Chain A
């Protein structure tokens, strides 16, 4: 990796902020106690976690008591989907509904619940990638234990009307969970306003360390934990806390809240510049006409394979993604685009640029020039391009 490489993949992960690292260092360099221990070392680790809990709660409009720390977003989503749907026995509320565009760490645990007698079904989305409320209402006629819909999609960046989705689901007697991992730090986030029972957020998307995330949970739910043991996190998530990572998550949340308005204005201006350039190159941009998180642009070029373009851009020093990072080892087209009714051959061309606070207008300008050259080069080689 050379210094001239440009990082345009912030929805995958972000660099650790130096201030966050400074907050974490004491918990990595000095003797840290087990937060469960009663001595001074243990108590001071416990205090650090509780301080982080307050910072996390503040950043997403929740109470500290609602924050359950986990090791990653995937764990929080598994905990929510498995734990909440199991509150209602399969004999009375068989159905688990997830949107067709969920991350696999929601859709797979939902599918796994079928072994316990539940039925996992997908809620359709429209051509812009927004949940079809009429379809949700129809499906909710079957007794449903849980509806899980992500707040902002990791690929398209499209934002869901979670408030309406939650209202519809609650009327039908279902619990509601939202994966807000891509929303935190990018749009205003208030747990209470979303009207959901549970919400997932993660540290490493907001310049915090990997290894910390949280499920924000309505404590009225009698939810069974994934991990049983010493009873940490009020019995909801046993296991010795990752003190340094949790402290870093808290610091990153405070930073994200301070910087959110500036981040939104900066990345939205860069994205407008990017998409103006993309339009000139005859590129298909997905979800462009609806509300999106400000930093994300998902697009495809007819006749060019997304993975090939990602590789081509990587060779020229630009880090972008094709589909979601978790599935880039497989050559299946994006399930998000297929759910939106995008033809499979165009979906295969999809490339995601997700901007960050440190990206600049010059980087976007140079990227567009490089992209234009690579499109020409790949089209000459392509067996299907016009």
Chain B
């Protein structure tokens, strides 16, 4: 199967590989997928007090398309509000990377990872408010 140039570019030069401090109250973590299903994505976002995503990091176990999808979303997330992040659709990711039909699930997983990370940061913020 042929990979698009954009997939290969993200695969060869992945953006924002790594982790953020998961104990930081401003960091949300989304971990989706399962090794047995073929792909696992860990996406971490750091949100400032205005609800803007300042930083994003990923680690992915999976095929080149999964790596590229997660690398791409870390670029997209920076500078967006968490609500804007939540609105990112897998179809936008698949279109940007020209993913073939058998690889659409990689973009779905990336969308799920964003939603999980946003849900995590919202839960953290809510818990902090209740504690205060």
Contacts and interface: CB of A to CB of B under 8 A. Distances in A.
Interface in A313-341: 315, 328-331, 333
Contact of B12 (A308, A315, A382): A315
A339 B17 CA distance: 35
Contacts of B67: 308, 381
Interface SS of chain B: mixed
A143 interface: no
Interface residues of B, number: 27
Interface string B32-43: 001110111110
A307 B105 CA distance: 15
Contact of B31 (A303, A311, A381, A383): A383
B102 A330 contact: yes
Nearest to B100: A329
B40 A383 contact: yes
Contacts of B64: 307-308, 311
A370 to B, nearest CB: 15
A328 B64 CA distance: 14
A75 interface: no
Contact of B61 (A311, A328, A382): A382
A303 B105 CA distance: 20
A315 B40 CA distance: 23
A380 B14 CA distance: 11
Nearest to B105: A331
A308 B63 contact: yes
Given A329-B102, A330-B102, A384 B63 contact: no
B1 A328 contact: yes
Given A305-B38, A315-B12, A348-B35, A383 B60 contact: yes
Interface centre among A304, A315, A330, A343 (most CB of B within 10 A): A315
B102 A344 contact: no
Contact of B63 (A311, A333, A344, A383): A311
B38 A348 contact: yes
Given A308-B67, A331-B105, A344-B36, 7 more contacts: A330-B102, A331-B63, A345-B36, A348-B35, A381-B59, A382-B60, A383-B42
Interface of B: 1, 3, 8, 11-12, 14, 17, 31, 34-36, 38-42, 58-64, 66-67, 102, 105
17 contacts: A305-B62, A308-B63, A311-B3, A311-B11, A311-B64, A331-B63, A331-B105, A345-B34, A345-B36, A348-B35, A382-B60, A382-B61, A383-B31, A383-B58, A383-B59, A383-B60, A385-B61
